Structure 1
Amino acid sequence: MTAELATIIDFIRYGASRFGSAALTFGHSYDNALDEATHLVLHTLHLPHDLSPNYAQARLTAAEKKSVLALIERRVRERKPVAYLTGEAWFAGLKFKSDTRALVPRSPIAEMILNGFSPWLDGVPVRRALDLCTGSGCIGIAMAAHNPDWQVDLADISDAALSLARENIVFQDVEERVRACKSDLFSTLKGEVYDLIVSNPPYVTEQEFAALPPEYAHEPALGLKAGDDGLDFALRILDEAPKHLSADGWLIVEVGESERALTKLLPRLPLNWIEFEVGQMGVFAIARSDLVKHAKSIRTALKTR
């Protein structure tokens, strides 16, 4: 059957059809079968991800066909995210190394980075920024790459994730402005103050985690699970962030589906929920001044929930 496949577009179409018929789950960098198949085919052929459509009819060699088909079948058989099969993922217009040491880069915060965090940082001078729960380092490194004047710290509790983040720091050639450090949230960052703190912490509830499709089993549970309401880490961040933010600083956190639990728990906290091109995706921004003003209710929620 596959002997009839000849060109790049043939294999992309076949891969997408194969993924669709196998009822795979998408959501790790790509949200559909066609984009995943395109990534897989172009990576295997050592071609750029933005290859001109003029090359769509280029024919594959026998060896290339064998390599592409093998990866397509692995994606179906193993249910492993395509980023782990290819060892790379794209985030905020940049390529990152990706493997099972950390979650696949996929946060909607990429859109905020490309938009300069407007309007939240409009008129706010940023010298130092922190990517808390950094994982692969994609958020913090992208912030540094798109803002050459920023000094950025990456923090994570996982030694495995930090090793990948450090590789990505070198890969993106930002060693002079980005450092990675081991920390359980802010535990080893005493005295450090930032103009911007961005975090994509674990926020999946125990119930949601148990129901996740097989693709997510390849990712470290440490980067996903966050208690019965998904707020184990978000509440701690809200509580501790003011000590590490400058007077005009901002905190931006992704909590995904746990948005509902957070707004129910702290209904008066003035969280600004971000609207993305595809709609609201559980990311909020809040100024340090508002965190200080509502510090008592945050602390109470953290202790009593």
Structure 2
Amino acid sequence: MTSNDEIGRELHTLRDYLRWAISEFGRAGLFFGHGTDNAFDEARMLVFHGLHLPLGTDPALLDARLTLVERQKVLALIQRRVEERLPAAYLTNEAWFAGLSFYVDERVLVPRSPIAELIAQDFEPWLSARPQRILDLCTGSGCIGIACAYQFDEAMVDLVDISLDALNVADINIARHDLGDRVSAVQSDVFDLLGGQTYDLIVSNPPYVDAQDLAAMPAEYQREPALGLASGPDGLDITRRILREAANHLNEEGVLIVEVGNSCVALDDAFPTVPFMWLEFEHGGHGVFAMSREQLLEYAESFA
């Protein structure tokens, strides 16, 4: 990269910095997959964040000139994105999920689950009634459970994770959304410390990346906590535990929703007699299944 001082002398307007950022991202061969899928949206996110401008800013401002301090701040963000391969969400400390803003940093994965679409649909037709108790298992930032708390405004929600670092971020988001009266962060290795608690809905986006995929991931994914990604040779170590134990923590009409992404093939291979119900998504995404408590009990011997 040319020095920031030299670049700052040649670039003047908001439009200049957007164009330059897009070019730098292309030159560096960045990977996009943490809230954006292209260089333009990524550049807009970082440049507008550096200038404290909303993403819907009037296009007429694109020709506004930046101050020296503003130019230095924007250049520093772009430089870190290129040189450190940090996902943009870690640079802005913000990610959006289910239409809601969440604080994120390098202690948690950047939210990107297709489960947001299921939340917006009230998990229909899987739930027979509005859930009163919800568990977000392997919660990370808490985005799934907090989005559920918005969707089901009378429900009590537990956000569970083994990582205290992740739970500290979840606590930030509980406070950010003023949900401390209904949402709680709980440390537990899967169900180990939940005692006899039961829920109407258990939703989980657990670690599910197999060893081969983990080694081949782009650098941006390597900046995320491995604890939130890796799950054994076939990506199913945590999912197997969930399948074995979830029925004990579901109420009679309870439902389990689990995302396993690309490990869906390995899951079908591991349990060939189990008819997993793989859900379809209008807005993209795959590898999410739904199972009732009744089904979990029916196939308990397979999961054991």
Normalising by the smaller structure, the TM-score range is over 0.9
Deviation at 1:272, TM superposition (A): 1.7
Other-structure match for 2:93: 87
1:248-259 superposed matches below 5 A: 248-259=253-264
1:203-218 superposed matches below 5 A: 203-218=208-223
Query: Which secondary structure does the structure 1 equivalent of 2:237 belong to?
Result: coil
1:41 counterpart (41, 47, 66): 47
Other-structure match for 1:98: 104
Other-structure match for 2:198: 193
Q: Structure 2: which 5+ residue stretches go unaligned? A: 1-6
State the percentage of identical aligned residues: 56
Matched, 1:243 2:248: yes
Per mean C-alpha deviation after superposition, the further-off stretch among 188-197 and 280-289 is 280-289
CA contact (8 A) 1:132 1:201 kept: yes
Other-structure match for 1:64: 70
Equivalent residues, number: 298
Q: Structure 1: which 5+ residue stretches go unaligned? A: 300-305
Deviation at 1:170, TM superposition (A): 0.4
Report the Cα distance in structure 2 between the residues aligned to 1:3 and 1:284, rounded to whole angstroms.
54
Deviation at 1:6, TM superposition (A): 3.9
In structure 2, the CA distance between the partners of 1:23 and 1:94, relative to structure 1 (3 Å rule), is: same
CA contact (8 A) 1:202 1:230 kept: yes
RMSD value, Cα: 1.7
CA contact (8 A) 2:200 2:251 kept: yes
Deviation at 1:11, TM superposition (A): 2.6
1:31 counterpart (37, 40, 50): 37
1:119-198 superposed matches below 5 A: 119-121=125-127, 123-198=128-203
Other-structure match for 2:277: 272
TM-score, normalised via structure 2 length = 0.92
Deviation at 1:102, TM superposition (A): 1.1
- Structure 1 moving runs of 4+ over 6 Å: none
TM-score, normalised via structure 1 length = 0.92
Other-structure match for 1:226: 231
Other-structure match for 1:287: 292
The one-letter code matched in structure 2 to 1:142 is: A
Query: Which secondary structure does the structure 2 equivalent of 1:251 belong to?
Result: strand
Report the Cα distance in structure 1 between the residues aligned to 2:68 and 2:60, rounded to whole angstroms.
21
Deviation at 1:133, TM superposition (A): 0.4
CA contact (8 A) 1:274 1:280 kept: no
